Structure 1
Amino acid sequence: MASLPSSPAQPPHALLPLLAAVLAGFAAAAVVLLTLGDRAVAIGFAGAGLIAAGGLFGARRLFRSDTGAEPRTDWSVAHALAAASDDALAVTDRAGRLVCANARYEALFSGWPTPPTLPVGDAAVAALGAAARAAWRDGAGACDALQVFGVLVRAQVTRIGEESLVWRFVGAQPLDLAARVQSLIFGPTGDRLGAAGIMAVLLGPDGRVRAANRVFCLRAMGNGDSPAEGRDFARFLITDTRGFVRFEREGLGGTPLRVLQIPFLEGEEAPLLVALLDEEQPSTVTPAVGASAAAHLRSLIALLPSGLALVDRDGRFVSMNDAFTRAARVNAAAPPLYPGDLVVREDKAAVADAIRRFAGGAAQSAEMTVRFTDAPDDPVAITIAGARGLGDAAVLISLKDSGEEGKLKRQVAQATKMQAVGQLAGGVAHDFNNILTAIIGHCDLMLMRHSPGDSDYDDIQQIRANSNRAASLTRQLLAFSRQQTLRPQVLQLPDVISEVSNLLKRLLGETVRLEIKHGRNLGPVRADPGQLEQVVVNLAVNARDAMLAANPNGGGTLTIETMAVSGSEIRRMDEEVLPHGDYTALRIADTGAGIPADILPKIFEPFFTTKEVGKGTGLGLSTVYGIVKQSGGFIFAGNGAGGGAEFIIYLPVHAAAEAQVAKVPVVKEKPADLWGSGTILIVEDEDMVRAIAERALTRQGYTVLTAENGEAALELLDRIERPDLLISDVVMPLLDGPSMARQVRKRYPDLPILFMSGYAEEQLRRSIALDNVGFLPKPFSVQQLAEAARDVLAPK
């Protein structure tokens, strides 16, 4: 432990005036007594001396200046806390001097350097200096990704009072453990391993030797005292045609070796422990030596943080270290007898077969993924290898406790799966939109020839109504895949709730009470009001069903609340998903039974539902999730304090000052006259959609030309005069719509263009990158097509 020297005690010369006053009083008393012989007068002089001494002492105490000596600081508590910490700790004062540090700090930096000037490189020193300045200013600072001898360390700097900084280096334990293993191998422990026939080597991330015991140096280089540090480990070994490993110095006639790699630290830059054993020969290896080797190796394995377990030839556990018991959630009161006792039923046979195969002498090793009975939803990777020469042990099981890394991988895999399903849903919706466009268009054309009262009129209307229902389903698919066309407006959430409240009262029924609460100072948000209404309705219907399931007799309360959430509140929440900023939140809570913990991570997955067959598609919450994310918001699900389910939606506050807040969706009035004139070129690869568009626009008075793809459209433009309008699909084979439109604009820069597609307008606008173009989402009716064509052709 390093520390500053303590403050010196009060110097002895500070008491000299007091002593002089006392001695002067007694001396005067003695002179009076000898000369006058009057004892009363002598006593008076002695008393006067004592009074003078007391006065001096009181004056020094009363008027003593605090500037003469610094207060003494007791660092004993700091020393005790630093010594007990697993991290490297140091304390510096206001002048930048090192006050104290623990032993782990000394081991990490090979001495007592003063932060921020540490042996970590100029860039890292600059980052540490910035963290120290932040700590003096704000109370805390940090420096991430600090490389110390190949190990990633994070520095945290905290201000204590106004005079000290505490430096904490998190992640230094691997260095300490590596140094400890290195000293064990190089010291007497390595000699004991060598006596048992175990050659131990510690390798760096570059494959070079960092430490080796004497028996390895003797076998590999011919001299036990020869230094092996810095040498390439692979150059010491050779492999014959049968795959046996031998020392290069001993040649192909040497004793075959068994190589065990023990990854006792995580990370690509972490050192690796390698144990080499002679392949066991019954005629040359005695049982005593084998038992001694096994005991020493088990002692070494017990020190390692990686989960390791040894299994005998009958498939029973021989031993397991603490890391294995923690990662596998082994019950210490009733430890398992076989490895299969730890995994779920579906994985028992695979584990047993692998252990039996390697116990019988199978070469190499195998990796497999299993699920433990205590955590069946979290797959864990294990490595199984043969372990001959370790006494009763025949198989080595290595378990990687991935922790946060495994959680992150599962989240990435889930996100990848959701993205793939979303792309599939978007593609299916696009194809359905083409089909529905043709069905709705033919219905519109037939309705033009039939009047109400005709025998076919009601049938055609029924077909059109069912087509519109199918179109709403495709919109749900697009909402889930975040590819639907939104019509965002700047609005206030209370206005949306007010618009949908009457519908909610009818949906909830008489037994469910609806409570609506609105907060103050709500900021405007930018979203599609119709889609937000769908979000509220979906969550309300799910809440109603959950409350009826919990209480079949009916009853319950649905609470809808809007509230303002400031950036400071977001920072206090410390939620990694939410970026810092101002939000307007929407909370929807019920009084049902809540969401079980095992179901909560799956509720936003498509087609996942807890309802009975035929009573739910599993697209409701996934649609809600897609709408919220496409609107730039965030949604969180959980259980409230009262036990019911709770959904909170955070929408960022729209900060555009010139934006006009729309209270209700604005419906633009369309004139009744849809007739027009001019030439329109339609480019569409779907024959049925192209035919409907051609017939619909021809009936409105336009001259219509068609092309089945972009290349055909360019060839047609070479033969005809300039059209008045170009209508094109976006996604087409050979040459897509935007690429074709760019070439057309080079020839006719002011040509009006109308794109139509079953994908989202927002997604396609980024790929179109053209000015002055219109967009018509599929499916559309004949009237919507005519209106869109008229609007694009209308003079600006």
Structure 2
Amino acid sequence: MITTLQGQHSDQSVTRQRLWLAGLVLALAASVAVLWFASESALLTAVFFGGILVLAAAVFAFRNFGTEAQVDELAPPDWSVTVAAIEQPGIGIAITDRANRLTCANGTFTDWFGTGTAPPNLSLDRPSLEALTRSAREAWRDGASATGELKTPQGEAKWACAAQRAGRGDDYLIWRFTALDSADAQGMIAGAITGHFGTLLSEAGVETAIVGDDGIIRAVSQGFAYRSVGDASATLAGQEFVSLLRSDDQERIYFAREGRKGPAQLLTQVPLEQRNSGRGDAPSASLMMLIESGLAIGGAEEAVGSAATPQLEALLGALPLGLAMTDRDGRFLFGNQAFLRAVDREEEALPQYPSDLVVREDKGALADAVRRFGKGPANNGDMAIRLRSQPEDPVSLGLAGVRGLGEAAVLLSLTDSTEETRLKRQVAQATKMQAVGQLAGGVAHDFNNVLTAIIGYCDLMLLRHTPGDSDYDDIQQIRANSNRAASLTRQLLAFSRQQTLRPEVLQLPDVVSEVSQLLKRLLGEKIEFRVHHDRDLGPVRADPQQLEQVIVNLAVNARDAMQMRGDGRGKLTMATRRVSAADIRKMGSDFIPVADYTVLIVQDTGGGIPGELLGKIFEPFFTTKEQGKGTGLGLSTVYGIVKQSGGFIFADNVSATDRQPAGARFTVYLPVHRGELPQPKAAEEERAASDWSTGGKVLLVEDEDMVRAVAERALSRAGFTVTAASDGEEGLAAIANAGPFDLVLSDVVMPGMDGPTMVKALRKQQPDMPIVFMSGYAEEQLRKEIDIDNMHFIPKPFSVQQISDKVGSVLAVARSAEKDVKS
């Protein structure tokens, strides 16, 4: 954006000249007329007229000269040159006039804030706008000012800002915005050295510049620019760094513009960003520090025999990169706070040698590298090491040999990767849990096929035996154990979030009341059970049976924890709370979206969960109970049900008080349901199934022989005519040869052509054909993946009665719809 007033100024100058000339002509004519009438002398009048013309010509020439000089003096600058000069990486620069109008801005500023607004009226939150307004007043009054952290209304981007008064008449403000991104060390340091911090370093004799690995300057301090080209406002971006320096035959470094008249400089390189950690690549950018050799922190001609001076320590301590220094023998001299955080030594001092920070296998290599860089020529490199505090995660350590800094011989740089390591572990844990969930879902699906056959054959055998027969009890025992195994598969599916839910709109206290009597029997006489409910709780949308399982699992887990504490006595408290969106916003959680929630709190007095186990309790098959007393699926099932219901669950410990001992607390957040939900159709399906008695032709497609045999016998016994097929191709062939059919009952996943593909081909010929899919996966998941109308679902494992009722209810609904269409 470039604003100029040059054209307007020129037009106004021409207008003023014309008015002045017209006034002069009128005045001359009037004077000549008055003199003629007064003297009636032609000679006197002619002499007067000539003198006036000469005087007017002189005045006109003098005024034109002054106007041109004034125009030249007041001509506005070429803003395109200014725009090119203020382009700096990672720094947004804008220039405003006294009316707070945007006069000029670089590309970084326009990318961040656009050109529609100008400082201090930017799209920021209220505290940031107040800080910018205050900074503008201070800059106009004092010449310069700076702000703290600035945020957008959403709190996403963050900047720091500095304002400086400039111009011939101090009519402009120069705004510099720097992104506060801890991962962008180059951008942060560029903003620092080009601002007030760089000025302080220059006053101390330290000139700084950021130089890329190609030797091209990216940003410099004002002192560096002045000593290099004589202009403190020059950015020097794009110029070669070495072209601004020179060295003599003793390899002493000077600014090229100063030559030997200026002091010799000590050059120190600090890598800012490392690429391809551990491969030896050069840094993508470096901070170059030129320090006058006459300062107390060292000299090129004579080394000062002191350790790192306070000035150098203060300089390195102000940088966000982890930096440390060693002497020629490899002993630590200094380490800034960022370095201490990176090596997990904030609470204690650094060891004597850097090799004491790494694992045993890396000690020798690091010690050799430090000695090599300390006693060899001044160069730099990096190496991969494993810290003792993080032995599983290699990090990149930068090494640079420095000279002329007294005892300091090696500069070590290490990025604080604590947050990065934590995120890596979370991603690895999430990946592992996802893999285990997929494995659990696949195992449960295959196991459901086996259980379907076992339960189905038990049902068929029970039809031929009556209570009192010798085999009746054995068959019932087999069926009971099969149902128990089916419950285990449901737990696996709940963990992997692949179970079929039947959500309803319900009140959480009603569910707690339904299971209260069961909980009292489960807890026993020694455990006190209390329930508290808030008023005006919002309804939630969840499967009531699955929600009951969540409550029972949490209660049983608390009971076992309390029974392990000696006498087995304790207290279990369940409470429901109303949590508003404002409360969630105050919590500042990164996990829970801002909304209204109904919360279930389950708290016990079992002593709590050890801190090292809090992050593992929801993992499948993880248990602290004795072998044979727990499957490790209880809390993982709870977690899966809550997450599949759209909720959140957290576990923490409650400290002991005077009234009760310490214990664990589980908090379940379920979002408040807004809107209506259709009532469950289970009762309608049972009524429709009982009304259906006319039979029908059913195509059964199932690749598992046991499941296909059970389903065929069950449907045949119920009066249906069944044609069986083992995959999708046989199903289509059966439709062509033995069709038409009243209904298709098909598995979803089959070798060759799967169920959905077969149904889509069938629908081209019979678009109204009812379809019933049977699968061990969740109905919600299948409906998202299969886009087919008039599709029904029955989960595996199912009994003989359930499959017969499902087919009968679907046919009854389809026949009723046909009658309505005909009528």
Give the TM-score category using the shorter length: 0.5 to 0.7
CA deviation map 1:114-172 (0-9, x unaligned):
8795942263755985746967999999527999xxx962799xxxxxxxxxx998729
CA contact (8 A) 1:606 1:618 kept: yes
Secondary structure of the corresponding residue to residue 764 of structure 2: helix
Structure 1 residues 688, 661: closer, same or farther in 2, change over 3 A? closer
Match of 2:577 among 563, 581, 594: 563
Secondary structure of the corresponding residue to residue 192 of structure 2: helix
Q: Does 1:526 align with 2:541?
A: yes
Alpha-carbon deviation of 1:719? 2.9
CA deviation map 1:248-272 (0-9, x unaligned):
xxxxxxxxxx996611799xxx983
- Partner in structure 1 of residue 272 of structure 2: 263
Alpha-carbon deviation of 1:755? 0.5
Q: Distance in 2 between matches of 1:750 and 1:310?
A: 79
Secondary structure of the corresponding residue to residue 612 of structure 1: coil
- Partner in structure 2 of residue 499 of structure 1: 514
Q: Distance in 2 between matches of 1:431 and 1:782?
A: 19
Q: Which amino acid aligns with 1:785?
A: I
Q: Distance in 2 between matches of 1:709 and 1:777?
A: 19
- Partner in structure 2 of residue 19 of structure 1: none
Match of 2:465 among 444, 447, 450: 450
**Equivalent residue runs for 1:655-674 within 5 Å:** 655-657=674-676
Q: Distance in 1 between matches of 2:569 and 2:775?
A: 45
Match of 2:770 among 749, 752, 760: 752
Q: Which amino acid aligns with 2:443?
A: V
- Partner in structure 2 of residue 435 of structure 1: 450
Alpha-carbon deviation of 1:329? 3.4
Q: Does 1:684 align with 2:702?
A: yes
Match of 1:384 among 397, 415, 436: 397
Q: Distance in 1 between matches of 2:347 and 2:715?
A: 79
CA contact (8 A) 1:311 1:317 kept: yes
Alpha-carbon deviation of 1:614? 2.8
CA contact (8 A) 1:178 1:271 kept: no
Alpha-carbon deviation of 1:692? 2.3
CA deviation map 1:202-221 (0-9, x unaligned):
236998413589xx99xxx9
Alpha-carbon deviation of 1:294? 11
Q: Does 1:649 align with 2:655?
A: no
CA deviation map 1:233-292 (0-9, x unaligned):
6999xxxxxxxxxxxxxxxxxxxxx996611799xxx98315699xxxxxxxx9967889
Q: Distance in 2 between matches of 1:456 and 1:649?
A: 46
Alpha-carbon deviation of 1:615? 2.5
Structure 1 residues 419, 613: closer, same or farther in 2, change over 3 A? same
Alpha-carbon deviation of 1:603? 2.0
Q: Which amino acid aligns with 2:319?
A: L
CA contact (8 A) 2:685 2:806 kept: no
Q: Does 1:123 align with 2:114?
A: yes
CA contact (8 A) 2:193 2:220 kept: no
Q: Does 1:209 align with 2:217?
A: yes
Match of 2:784 among 766, 769, 794: 766
CA contact (8 A) 1:558 1:589 kept: yes
Using the size of structure 2 for normalisation, the TM-score is: 0.65
CA contact (8 A) 2:603 2:666 kept: yes
Alpha-carbon deviation of 1:514? 0.6
Q: Does 1:366 align with 2:383?
A: yes
- Partner in structure 2 of residue 13 of structure 1: none
CA contact (8 A) 1:387 1:393 kept: no
Q: Distance in 2 between matches of 1:661 and 1:754?
A: 18
- Partner in structure 2 of residue 36 of structure 1: none
- Partner in structure 1 of residue 78 of structure 2: none
Q: Distance in 2 between matches of 1:634 and 1:775?
A: 28
Q: Which amino acid aligns with 2:486?
A: A
- Partner in structure 1 of residue 73 of structure 2: none
Q: Percent identity?
A: 49
Match of 1:589 among 590, 603, 614: 603
Q: Distance in 2 between matches of 1:233 and 1:747?
A: 75
CA contact (8 A) 1:145 1:154 kept: no
Secondary structure of the corresponding residue to residue 498 of structure 2: coil
Q: Distance in 1 between matches of 2:240 and 2:191?
A: 23
Q: Does 1:610 align with 2:624?
A: yes
Structure 1 residues 133, 748: closer, same or farther in 2, change over 3 A? same
Q: Distance in 2 between matches of 1:390 and 1:614?
A: 67
Q: Distance in 1 between matches of 2:467 and 2:810?
A: 32
Q: Distance in 2 between matches of 1:429 and 1:383?
A: 44
CA contact (8 A) 2:744 2:771 kept: yes
**Equivalent residue runs for 1:149-298 within 5 Å:** 153=159, 171=180, 174-179=189-194, 189=205, 202-203=210-211, 208-210=216-218, 229-231=236-238, 262-263=271-272, 272-273=285-286
Q: Distance in 1 between matches of 2:178 and 2:328?
A: 45
**Equivalent residue runs for 1:471-490 within 5 Å:** 471-490=486-505
Unaligned runs of 5+ in 2: 1-90, 133-149, 163-175, 182-187, 229-233, 244-266, 276-282, 291-298, 374-378, 657-661, 817-823
CA deviation map 1:166-193 (0-9, x unaligned):
x9987296444242687799999568xx
CA contact (8 A) 2:308 2:333 kept: no
Structure 1 residues 633, 334: closer, same or farther in 2, change over 3 A? closer
CA contact (8 A) 1:679 1:723 kept: yes
Q: Distance in 2 between matches of 1:168 and 1:235?
A: 29
CA deviation map 1:289-313 (0-9, x unaligned):
7889997997665553211335678
Structure 1 residues 659, 485: closer, same or farther in 2, change over 3 A? closer
Secondary structure of the corresponding residue to residue 499 of structure 2: coil
Using the size of structure 1 for normalisation, the TM-score is: 0.67
CA deviation map 1:553-572 (0-9, x unaligned):
13211111122222333333
Q: Does 1:422 align with 2:437?
A: yes
Match of 2:482 among 460, 467, 479: 467
- Aligned CA-pair RMSD: 4.8
Alpha-carbon deviation of 1:762? 0.9
CA contact (8 A) 2:646 2:671 kept: yes
Between stretches 426-435 and 362-371, larger displacement belongs to 362-371
Alpha-carbon deviation of 1:232? 7.4
Q: Distance in 2 between matches of 1:385 and 1:308?
A: 9
- Partner in structure 2 of residue 697 of structure 1: 715
CA contact (8 A) 1:369 1:381 kept: yes
Structure 1 residues 206, 357: closer, same or farther in 2, change over 3 A? closer
Q: Distance in 1 between matches of 2:350 and 2:270?
A: 27
Match of 1:708 among 711, 717, 726: 726
Q: Distance in 2 between matches of 1:649 and 1:138?
A: 40
Alpha-carbon deviation of 1:657? 4.6
Match of 1:743 among 723, 739, 761: 761
Match of 2:741 among 711, 714, 723: 723
Structure 1 residues 233, 500: closer, same or farther in 2, change over 3 A? farther
Alpha-carbon deviation of 1:479? 0.7
- Partner in structure 2 of residue 143 of structure 1: 152
Secondary structure of the corresponding residue to residue 615 of structure 1: coil
Q: Distance in 1 between matches of 2:754 and 2:572?
A: 49
Q: Distance in 1 between matches of 2:99 and 2:384?
A: 46
Q: Distance in 2 between matches of 1:134 and 1:628?
A: 38
Secondary structure of the corresponding residue to residue 471 of structure 1: helix
Q: Distance in 2 between matches of 1:207 and 1:747?
A: 72
- Partner in structure 2 of residue 47 of structure 1: none
Secondary structure of the corresponding residue to residue 449 of structure 1: coil
Unaligned runs of 5+ in 1: 1-105, 157-166, 192-199, 222-226, 237-257, 278-285
Secondary structure of the corresponding residue to residue 452 of structure 1: coil
Alpha-carbon deviation of 1:735? 3.1
Q: Which amino acid aligns with 1:558?
A: L
Q: Distance in 2 between matches of 1:710 and 1:233?
A: 70
